[in-house]
Chain A
Amino acid sequence: MRNAIFILTLGLIFATAGQAFAAEEPQNVIKYRQAVMKAIGGHTGAIAGVVKGEVSFTGDVAAHARGIQEMSKLVSKLFPKGTDNKMQEKTRALPAIWEDRAKFDAAVKAFQAASANLVRVAEAGDPAAFGGGLQELGKACGGCHKPFRAEEK
């Protein structure tokens, strides 16, 4: 009996937790997703300093590449329905994300592939290949920002 009550309580806790997740405030999701994007931008900004020769931390680029790759796995779920810039404030996510989800998913895939490739070339320590990997990564960012992010006001 005790066990049954225990399991029931546990189930209830999880159920409410799940509820809370489903009812997450759109503004909080937007804030979180922008923070993730900023983290990605932080890594690319840091890489730029190394590639431009402004700093000597060449050993760090692989860590930054891995950071981007980790973040790339989160991107897809950051865009639940109801968080576009028509329905919400303080976001530049265009409704096109949900209108053409297949294209958006393809942009996410391309981003994941480009960041995985960047990790590979960074870990191989081959600066020449790294330059090409960076250009490919840029294409992946642009390939999503151009169709799916509103321009700055």
Chain B
Amino acid sequence: MPQAVPGGGKIDTRLVTRSPGRKACGGRPFIWAAAALFHLGLATLAAGPAAGAEPAVARGEYIFRAAGCLTCHTDTKNKGAPLAGGRALPTPFGTFYTPNITPDPVHGIGAWSDADFITALREGLAPDGSHYYPAFPYPSYTGMNERDMRDLKAYLFSRPAVATPNRAHDLKFPFGFRFALWPWKLLFFTEGRRIEDPSKDAQWNRGAYLVENLGHCGECHTPRNFLGAVDRERRLAGNPVGPEGKKVPNVTPHPGNGIGDWSKSDLTYFLKTGFLPDGDFAGGAMTDVIQESTGFLSDEDRAAVARYIFGLPPISGPGAGP
């Protein structure tokens, strides 16, 4: 079911033309690789909205996948309805419970205007003016462009409403005081849409947008300081205590500690299928990310992610790659 999705179903020929075997063996591996990858792209679209759906909704679904909203806003463990919230996120600061983002007008976000939605993502503010905890990754989403935000809302509003009430966070003293979030934001939050770097090409800029903003990779892969702000000096260099109290690997191109010994196609293949370069299949939190988010991206977008990641400064420690 083809849709108007950016880059959807396109073939990442770079994966193929880079291959050392190609010259020696003619077109066959090209066909295999291209077709297999192409199919993965199509398979991911098959789960999309019905044909003839609003372009904004179809586009929004792609943004929704890239932004990885589903895994956090669904309480899969307790068989919660999709996007109805309630998933527990245990952190060193206490346990957060994600809210309902279905279009239910009472318990979800059904009563929100576009402006409310944009303010939440861009500024980390609820419609009543209260501050969100940065467990909601608005420090990443703030960089999204407005069209993506609007289309994302259109997609969310096309989903079934579920009347599941929200559950209050269970935070340790003194993090339960929301007013403390205002100075926190002054210190650590930079609001605003990502401005493209004109010294870099389009692919790098797209990769930066996908990694730093939509994909919010750093929210898990970057360590946080004692006030819960990501440490920008150690961007993507691994987090000793990530969500669920688990260690999150270093994904900078550092050869020993990060993924410096991976090729770009190792990374794009991993983000698509979940298979590691040694053939193993990691079973951690990244499994959900691959199955609900990166596995749905176009090959072009995954290549952009790899381009950006391998252009990062390699940072040592802690721990090896995924």
Contact = CB atoms under 8 A, between A and B. Distances in A.
Interface string B270-292: 00111101111111100100110
Interface in A43-79: 43-46, 48, 50-56, 58
Contacts, number: 130
Contact of A54 (B19, B31, B42, B287): B19
Nearest to B285: A146
Contact of B246 (A41, A128, A151): A151
Interface in B23-58: 24-26, 28-40, 42-43
Chain A contact patch, size range? 20 to 34
A131 B22 contact: no
Contact of B43 (A54, A55, A58, A131): A131
B39 A53 contact: no
Contacts of A40: 279
Given A132-B43, A142-B287, A53 B15 contact: yes
A48 B33 contact: no
A138 interface: yes
A82 interface: no
B269 interface: yes
A131 B278 contact: no
A93 interface: no
B24 A56 contact: yes
Given A41-B279, A129-B39, A146-B287, A50 B274 contact: no
A135 interface: yes
Interface string A129-145: 11110110011011011
Contacts of A52: 15-16, 19, 33, 265-266, 269
Given A56-B22, A132-B40, 13 more contacts: A40-B279, A52-B266, A53-B22, A56-B29, A127-B36, A129-B39, A132-B43, A138-B274, A142-B287, A142-B290, A145-B281, A145-B282, A151-B247
Interface of A: 40-46, 48, 50-56, 58, 127-132, 134-135, 138-139, 141-142, 144-147, 149, 151
